[in-house]
Amino acid sequence: MIGNKQKNEEQTSNGLHNVLVAGTTIKGNISTDTDFRLDGKVEGDIICQAKIVVGPKGCVNGNITSNNAEIHGNVTGSIHVSTKLVLKATATIQGDITAPNIEIEPNAVFNGKCTMDNTSRLPEKNSPKQK
């Protein structure tokens, strides 16, 4: 039955995500391979190999690097996204953005430089060194 248990764990691991709830503050950098929802506050950089959602009460004082991002809250720092960035109406961004696809809803606030770069890629984790 060990083989079945491993198979079930592999299937459910795709649905895993991290959540930082409102009222929680982290001082330091965060790195995750799975989706991440932030409703609390992070004072540091976030590297997410999947999708990050900064909720309406979420706040980041640092840089965000992610595959996809949806911002409802506040970010003070640069945002580098390799696929798509969505700024919701409640978003406030103070910093530069780099993304190949950007969607900005009316009433979102963005103060910074925007570069639409379709060659953006996340740094690969444990990428082999070239000779």
Q: What is the pLDDT of residues 1-26, one digit of tens each?
A: 444 444 333 333 456 788 989 999 99
- Cβ–Cβ under 8 Å, residues 61 and 46: no
The partner residues of 15 in beta bridges, in order of sequence, read none
CA 114, 85, 78, 25 torsion-angle sign: positive
Instruction: Give the side-chain half-sphere CA count within 13 A for 86.
Output: 11
C-alpha 87, offset from chain centre? 12
pLDDT of residue 125: 55
Q: Which of 76, 100, 49 has its CA nearest to residue 91? A: 76
pLDDT tens profile 72-108: 999 999 999 999 999 999 999 999 999 999 999 999 9
pLDDT tens profile 28-66: 999 999 999 999 999 999 999 999 999 999 999 999 999
Question: Between 128 and 105, where is the model more confident?
Answer: 105
What number is the average pLDDT over the span 113-127? 67
- Cβ–Cβ under 8 Å, residues 92 and 76: no
> Alpha-carbon distance 72 to 87, whole Å?
7
pLDDT of residue 39: 96
